[in-house]
Structures are given as structure tokens and as C-alpha cells.
Amino acid sequence: MTKQMTTEQSNTSKEKSISCFSFDNAQPVDSNSWITNYCELFYNDMDDYWEPPVSLRGLADIANTNGHHGSLLKARSNYVSGRFIQGGGMSPDELNHASWDYFGFGHFGFLKLRNHFKKVIGLTPLPMMHMRKRKNGDFVQLLRDDKKKVYKAKDVIFAGQYDPQQQIYGLPDYLGSLQSALLNKDATLFRRAYYKNGAHMGYIFYTSDPNLSDEDDQRLQEALQGAKGPGNFRSMYINIPNGKEKGVQIIPVGDIATKDDFERVKNISTQDIFTGHRFPAGMGGMMPQTGANMPDPIKVSQMYDKYEVIPVCKVFERAVNSDPEVPKHLHMKFDLNIAQDA
């Protein structure tokens, strides 16, 4: 009787509770928040200027972190500055800077350069990422060390894209595709993290062998957790004396190397970015999908020039040429002709 109880106690002591742990970290997501959720602009009474509806520094940063989005901003400004003939005494490069501000931030500004007689003798683009507007129409340039430089309203030519929620600043037209630009960037960063860290996401390390002791279980946890980070892709050797077949299994849930949606996410988000910029795919380096035909690039370019490029050229012309202080020899002039088929 005593021997039987000892055997039962021994078998009971070998029984183990289920052990499970995860390697991931929780990621906060707020799907209800968006950058244009505002009713009116906030006026900064302390510094005396209107805060922009969207962070201009944030828009500039995103342009540098997504290849398609940043490239399209540059391409759109190149198309406009490529038609620039003369105006304001500015060079094509200066006009290119102003056109990037128009597409990237939604507005542009020119400072009137005056002589000793207060006559306008030229124009120069203002750094719009650092420019703020006051209630009286004056503009403030934010400098280092909380310093500011004020420009009178009469000295600045300003124009922006229309925003139905406010008429102080312009708002860029691509904001609807900004989430796709961020998704495209995140997909690339996630892919890089996979190759760099070797964290083969989505697997279950399953053990059911009764010969696996608590000490062995702890060592396995430490080995698995140590397999993450730089210098990984380590191999693992497990030996369980008298172990059962399939007592230790690795069950993949999502194999990023072969089964993830990286390519599909990249393709769909790229299409959204091109759509947000209203930029023809055939002109922006995006290859057509399998089975799709590439449209005639000449005809596409003609329609794009007519409905997208030339209207922006006219925005610059109207802003400068309608100012009564700007003499005619400084008026903006663009090539507004549309190339015809040869």
C-alpha cells in the first residue's frame, strides 16, 4: 500500500501545468484619429500667429521617408518649374522651390524685394515650413532660439490650395493618400526589421513531452528569447532522453518569408499614393500590373499638362501678375502650350 502511494505521488509530481509565453509587444492603434480633424485653426496668442492645420515639419519628414510620395512631390514641382520662362527676377531653381512648397505644404509665398524708393525690384521664395500668418495679415518667420522675423502683409505674395475648413493657410491635395504612404513606409521598415532581427513572426513553439523538466522548459524560454535581435538566426539543438515523437514542434502561424502580404501591401499603397497625387502611373515609374497595358505616354502627358500642370502655372501667374506693386517686367510667364503629336 505504501509503495503504491509512493508511485502515484511520483507520477503526480511529474505532471506539469501548461506553460506559454509570447514574444510580442502591444502596439497602440487609434483608427479614429486623423490629422485634419479640426473645426477651426488655433491662434497662438503667446507668439501671435495662427498654427497651421497640419504640422508642416511632419509633412516635410514624410516626404523624405516614403520613396513614391517624396518622388512625386519633386516630379510635380519639376513639371511646373520646367514651364517657367521668367518672372520676379527669379531663377528656375527658385521657382522650383516655391512649387514644391505649393504641392508639399499646400501654399507658397514670395517676398517682395524693394530698393531705396520702396519700389519692387524682384521676388524671392520664402521658406514656407517656417512661415506663420498673423491676424493682421503679417507673416512671421520662425528662427532659432525662439526668435522671429516679421514681414508686413504688403511685402508678401501668398497663394494656397483651397481648404473648406479654413482660409488662412493652404492644404496639400494628397492628404487622403497619406495613410497609404505611411503604410508603405511601415511595410518597408517591418521587412527590414525581419531581415535585421530575424524575428520569424507568427509561430508557436509547442512542447508536450513529459520528459521535459521545468529546468529544460526555462532554458528553452531563455534560448528562444535570446534568438531575437542583431546577430541572430541561431540554430538550436534539443535532446530529450526517451522523448516522444513530436514532443517538441514548431507550428508556423505566418511565415513572412513566403506567405506574407508584403508585395500586395506595397503595390496597393503605391497605387493609392499615385491616385492621391493624381499622377499618371506611366509617368511616375510605377509598372503596370500583370495583364494591364501601358497607356500612350504622349497622350497621357498631354492630358496631364492640360489639367494638372498648366492650371498650377496659372496660379503662380495670377498671384504675381495681379499684384499692383509688381511691375510688368517682373510678371510671371510660363509656357502654357500643350505639345501636339508629331
Residue indicated by cell numbers 510635380 = 76
Query: Which pLDDT belongs to residue 192?
Result: 79
| SS3 per residue for the chain | CHHHHHHHHHHHHHCCCCCCCCCCCCCCCCCCCCCCCCCCCCEECCCCEECCCCCHHHHHHHHHHCHHHHHHHHHHHHHHHCCEEECCCCCHHHHHHHHHHHHHCCEEEEEEEECCCCCEEEEEECCHHHEEECCCCCEEEECHHHCEEEECHHHEEEEECCCCCCCCCCCCCCHHHHHHHHHHHHHHHHHHHHHHHCCCCCEEEEECCCCCCHHHHHHHHHHHHCCCCCCCCCCCCCCCCCCCCCCEEEEECCCCCCCCCHHHHHHHHHHHHHHHHCCCHHHCCCCCCCCCCCCCHHHHHHHHHHHHHHHHHHHHHHHHHCCCCCCHHHCCEECCCCCCCC
Query: Which pLDDT belongs to residue 199?
Result: 52
> How much is the mean pLDDT over the chain?
81
Give the number of other Cβ atoms within 10 Å of residue 298's Cβ. Answer: 12
Q: What is the pLDDT of residues 282-305, one digit of tens each?
A: 776 666 566 566 677 788 889 999
Q: Which of the two residues, 213 and 141, has the higher pLDDT score?
A: 141
Query: Which pLDDT belongs to residue 235?
Result: 55
Residue range 44-173+309-334, CATH number:
3.40.140
The dihedrals phi and psi of 132, each to the nearest 5 degrees, come to -130, 155
The dihedrals phi and psi of 233, each to the nearest 5 degrees, come to 60, 40
Query: Which pLDDT belongs to residue 23?
Result: 46
Query: Which pLDDT belongs to residue 299?
Result: 86
Mean pLDDT, residues 154-182 taken together: 94
Q: What is the pLDDT of residues 219-248, one digit of tens each?
A: 777 776 666 555 454 556 565 666 667 777
Is the Cβ–Cβ distance between 243 and 211 less than 8 Å? Answer: yes
Mean pLDDT, residues 117-143 taken together: 97
Query: Which pLDDT belongs to residue 13?
Result: 46
Is the Cβ–Cβ distance between 339 and 179 less than 8 Å? Answer: no
Distances (CA, A) of 68 to 64, 181, 264, 275, 279: 10, 8, 16, 11, 11
Mean pLDDT, residues 18-28 taken together: 47
| Calpha distance 203→250 (Å, rounded) | 7
What's CA 110's distance to the chain center, in Å? 27
**Which own/partner pairs from 57-66 qualify as long-range (CB within 8 Å, at least 24 positions apart)?**
57/129, 59/104, 59/105, 59/172, 60/104, 60/105, 60/129, 62/178, 62/181, 62/182, 62/185, 63/104, 65/185, 66/181, 66/182, 66/184, 66/185, 66/273
Minimum mean pLDDT range among 30-39, 48-57, 321-330? 30-39
Where exactly are the structural domains of the chain?
Answer: 44-173+309-334, 175-195+261-277, 203-253
Query: Which pLDDT belongs to residue 119?
Result: 97
| Calpha distance 321→159 (Å, rounded) | 12
pLDDT reading at 268 higher than 60: yes
Query: Which pLDDT belongs to residue 220?
Result: 75
